[in-house]
Chains A and B, each alone.
Chain A
Amino acid sequence: MVKLGRSAAVAALAAAVLALGACGGSDGKSEGGGAGGGGSAEAKTLTLWHYETGNSAMGTAWAEAMKEFEASHPGVKVKFEEKGFEQIQKTAGMVLNSDEAPDIMEYNKGNATAGLLSKQGLLTDLTEEATKRGWDKLLSPSLQTTAKYDERGIMGSGKWFGVPNYGEYVMVYYNKDMFEKAGVKVPTTFDEFTAALDTFAKKGTTPIAMAGAEYPAQQLFYLLALNKANRAWIDSFELYKGKVDFHGPEFTYAAQTISDWVKKGYIAKNSAGMKAEDMGVAFIGGKFPIMVSGSWWFGRMQEEIKGFKWGSFLWPGQFAPGSSGNIWVVPEKSKNKDLAYDFIDITMKKEVQNLLGNSGGIPVAADPAAITDEQNKELIENFNKLSTQDGLAFYPDWPAPGYYDVLVSGVQELINGDKKPEEVLDEIAQPYNDNLADIGN
């Protein structure tokens, strides 16, 4: 009868799964033992985690650094594990508090990430190594901001807890073909920039590709505020060195300008709901002449733009969002701290830094003459220019936990026209000031 067949099938399944289970038990145990014994064994390993794609600039440069490390440290193997960004972001605190912590890992710069872990005592103080090995000379002061954290976990001063290998900044990508066709030259001042926007808008083209649902819109908002700001204001806003008036000239101008630009057709109203990926794909597809976003797009532009010529220029103004990239940290529970320091040192060497630059990244200590590709050279020169004019202004979502979402919804309301600029400014002031009270400023 039917029953016979069915029971046979279920029995077979059960047997198969039980067999798997038997393997599982012994598997788990032997692996647990292996990991524990690894540290005491003869052959040393350096466990290293990062979350950059293998073919990205950082991935390429660090692969080379690992090779050099193994060559200069005979008998030591690098055990590299590629992690997901989200996994590191969500579980770092737990991992670093356990015996499974890696010897060295890439981690996010910022108060809520590296700052928090340093406050909890999970990261090794690198101050001594930084001075001994000269990392403090290689990195410019604004890049060092994200490497140092004080006892409250706030960046900008205190001890070294991380070492950045690369930089990033927000710039203007432009479609050369569309500029030529419209007879627009690359703008060098803010007035020329708005004139260019106006030319496109008058011809019926929306000039700026935008994404209101993610970081690009708040970065543009911040850029506009920066055009009315000075370094003292940035230090107040980002590093809590003074009071910030959200109804002062900086933010008032930014909110008003975004709202005006939507009305004038420089930014599409429907971009309020767009994601960064949509924005990038639209620009790569040749639908917009201008995209204001970060250097993290650069490699992808190089690879994927086929139909037209493109270039990049610095935002017309002294400042732009930007900072060091993510940082190397050495967990307090690292079993091979000295090896980890050696590895960081190799990543700061000229050869590795030059490779990073030639692969489309922004090195922090490269030899400018060694960068061969024209586009890469332009990218790096612009970064160096920004860095030397003290123009790296960090990111608007840094000052308070959860501030990213506050800014997304605030700027979205500006683009939609749901709220007046003054109302939006009140809305984004509240969480900022609450956070100030929390940290005792």
Chain B
Amino acid sequence: MTSDRHFGQPGRWAVLAALVVLAVVMLVPFAIVTLNAFKSPAEYSSGGPLSLPQGLYLDGIVTFWQRVDFGLKLWNSLLISGVVAVAAVLLSVLNAYALGVGRVRGRLWLLVLFLVANTLPQEALVYPLYYLAKQVGLYDSKLAVMLIFTVIQGAFGTYLLSSVLGQFPRGILEAAEIDGASRWRILWGIVVPVSRPTLTVLLIFFFIWTWNEFFLPMVFLISNDNQTVPVALGVLQGEKMMDATMSSASALLGIVPAVAFFLIFQRTLTRGITVGAIK
């Protein structure tokens, strides 16, 4: 690898030091959350957020879990994020195949449109989506959130994949056409397998992004049985009071699944990026 050449040089240490500082800055909030999650409210109030807990206080986590029926929220989040991730990748591939490989007329403007759709704030979408959902009887259903996020994530995926597929080696495609493969066959037999690493990364991103969504799920998932994890965390923020230790406990519970998901698929993620780069 090229990095061997730089080993021992002072510049390399500077980069390492900078990365360590960055890592610490990134990790400190997590550390504070973890610290306070295991503190009793009285300890927090007398010692402040940075004091060390005197013992392991698990009541915050247990109480919060029971109070919001956290298991159900986990399942809802998993369901919604999973469906959205798969459906949005599928949608992106189909769109990008037409725009990137198929080179339809006016594709540049279509891509610009998708980009603009991406920059729209969700607050602007809320009322139109609310009326639409009410009209078709999907208000307060998980399906509404799944559809909305499939489209939102799909817009980004289309934009990204279109530029990736625009660079797709034409030679392979032409060879397949000469062999008599249909467009459908070329998509599933050649384009998808070759760009699978990119698709995997996209899938994971879509999952995590959807998992972390707060605003639209809050508006559309009215009954507690339908709510997702981030919405459930919002229950703790009162009008004038906040319960710092229980908020920390709930934040910890909220982060853990996303981190676990990342760790499980982390190998796929890094491999996906490098494989794509070599190709």
Contacts and interface: CB of A to CB of B under 8 A. Distances in A.
A100 B222 contact: yes
A24 B146 contact: yes
B73 interface: no
A6 interface: yes
Contacts of B238: 51, 53, 85
B165 interface: no
Contacts of B86: 14, 17-18, 21
B225 interface: yes
A21 B87 contact: yes
Interface in B30-73: 41-42, 44-48, 67-68
Nearest to A21: B83
A24 to B, nearest CB: 5
A385 interface: no
Nearest to B218: A87
A13 B224 CA distance: 28
Nearest to B244: A277
Contact of A24 (B41, B45, B79): B79
Interface stretch (B7-15, B111-119, B137-145, B172-180): B137-145
A414 interface: no
Contacts of A9: 268
A317 interface: no
A84 interface: yes
A80 B93 CA distance: 44
Contacts of A82: 67-68, 224, 235
B271 interface: yes
Nearest to A215: B240
A6 B268 contact: yes
Contacts of A249: none
Interface in B234-262: 234-244
Contacts of A342: none
A215 B241 CA distance: 12
Interface stretch (A90-98, A181-189, A190-198): A90-98
Q: Among the interface residues A7, A9, A25, A53, which one has the most CB atoms of the partner chain B within 10 A?
A: A53
A91 B219 contact: yes
B2 interface: no
A24 B268 contact: no
Contact of A281 (B48, B141, B219): B48
Q: Give chain B's interface secondary structure class.
A: helix
A41 interface: no
Contacts of B134: 98
B142 to A, nearest CB: 5
B63 to A, nearest CB: 9
B267 to A, nearest CB: 9
A281 B45 CA distance: 5
Given A17-B82, A86-B234, A91 B222 contact: yes
Given A25-B143, A98-B134, A87 B48 contact: no
B195 interface: no
Interface string A98-114: 11100000001000000
Contact of A285 (B45, B78, B196, B223): B45
B212 interface: no
Interface string B188-231: 00000100100010010000000000000011001111100001
Contact of B130 (A14, A27, A28, A94): A94
B85 interface: yes
A83 B225 CA distance: 12
Given A10-B200, A17-B86, A32-B137, A24 B236 contact: no
Contacts of A23: 79
A84 B236 contact: yes
B83 A303 contact: no
Interface string A375-413: 000000000000000000000000000000000000000
Interface string A1-41: 00000110110011011101101110111011001000000
Interface range for A: 35 or more
Nearest to A34: B225
Given A20-B82, A304-B46, A100 B235 contact: no
B155 interface: no
Contact of A20 (B78, B236, B268): B78
Contacts of A90: 218-219
Contacts of B47: 285
B196 A10 contact: yes
A20 B45 CA distance: 43
Contacts of A281: 44-45, 48
A9 B272 CA distance: 12
Given A28-B141, A81-B223, A81-B224, A285 B243 contact: no
B142 A24 contact: yes
Contacts of A280: 45
A87 B231 contact: yes
A370 B271 CA distance: 70
B80 interface: yes
A141 interface: no
25 contacts: A6-B271, A14-B86, A17-B86, A20-B83, A25-B143, A27-B142, A28-B138, A31-B141, A32-B140, A35-B223, A53-B243, A54-B67, A82-B67, A84-B237, A86-B218, A91-B219, A100-B139, A100-B140, A100-B222, A284-B46, A285-B46, A296-B239, A304-B42, A305-B45, A326-B239
Interface of B: 41-42, 44-48, 67-68, 78-80, 82-83, 85-87, 130, 134, 137-143, 146, 193, 196, 200, 203, 218-219, 222-226, 231, 234-244, 268, 271
Interface of A: 6-7, 9-10, 13-14, 16-18, 20-21, 23-25, 27-29, 31-32, 35, 51, 53-54, 81-87, 90-91, 94-95, 98-100, 108, 215, 276-277, 280-281, 284-286, 294, 296-297, 300, 303-307, 326
Rank and list the top 7 A-B pairs by shortest CB-CB distance, nearest first. A84-B234, A28-B143, A284-B45, A17-B82, A304-B45, A84-B235, A21-B83
Given A87-B231, A285-B46, A304-B41, 18 more contacts: A17-B82, A24-B143, A28-B141, A31-B141, A32-B141, A53-B243, A54-B67, A82-B68, A82-B235, A85-B237, A86-B234, A94-B219, A95-B222, A100-B140, A277-B244, A300-B41, A304-B42, A305-B45
